[in-house]
Structure 1
């Protein structure tokens, strides 16, 4: 059972994903589950840059810090929820996304909202991870 790992796939008969995600992610039985609070674009000094793309960069830095704290990597991520208050610059977002995931994408949901928890927050990303 120790050889079980997280499996990501796009089932036959499904349309190809319209973005960099996988339709289904399966975690093995008895895996340890980790759920983060939404990570936001605040920097190490508690400041929110005005630039949406800088908030994206900070958010990915914060995700990496949270993962590192639990000795997790992108391979452990099973689901990502993205919430944004502005239209996402997908070229920039995917440049950060691919630094984290390479080409092995987790399941993902994206939603656009009129506001997040504080007026300065433009993007929030929640991570679900599992350690098999």
Structure 2
């Protein structure tokens, strides 16, 4: 369904991602808002690993509601507040990414709406519609 694009003229990806994806005509497209590491009871766990787990679990629920899975994710955008949290975030992200690996961007940002938030994740997913 989706075709990974990794031109030989562009340096190989640094990690578990592809440089691009080509989505065919007729595919359903899902775009999520950024998900934060906050539980249903409004608790916010300490640490980027626990927060990232909540982000990806929320995304999984959104995908399921749309009739999709992590196999349909074509793009992940992650945002962390501290450069040193990069490895912990990536370890969580890599547990949720399936082959072929989606395209991925990670940014270090100054903060979120509340100081307790350490990570935010959004995805784009595409799935061919079968009639």
State the TM-score, normalized to the length of structure 2: 0.87
- Mapped partners of 1:102, 1:109: distance in 2: 16
**1:57 Cα deviation from its structure 2 partner:** 1.3
Pairwise CA distance, 1:42: 0.7
**1:27 has 2:12 as partner:** no
Aligned residues: 127
| Long gaps (5+) in structure 2 | none
Determine whether 1:110 maps to 2:95.
Answer: no
How far apart in 2 are the matches of 1:63 and 1:80? 11
User: What is the CA deviation profile of residues 60-84 of structure 1, one whole-angstrom value per residue up to 9, with x for unaligned ones?
Assistant: 1111111111121122111111111
Match of 1:78, SS?
A: strand
1:64 to 60, 64, 89: 60
Gaps of 5+ in 1: none
Residue pair 1:77, 1:106 contacting (<8 A) in 2 also = yes
RMSD, matched Cα = 1.6
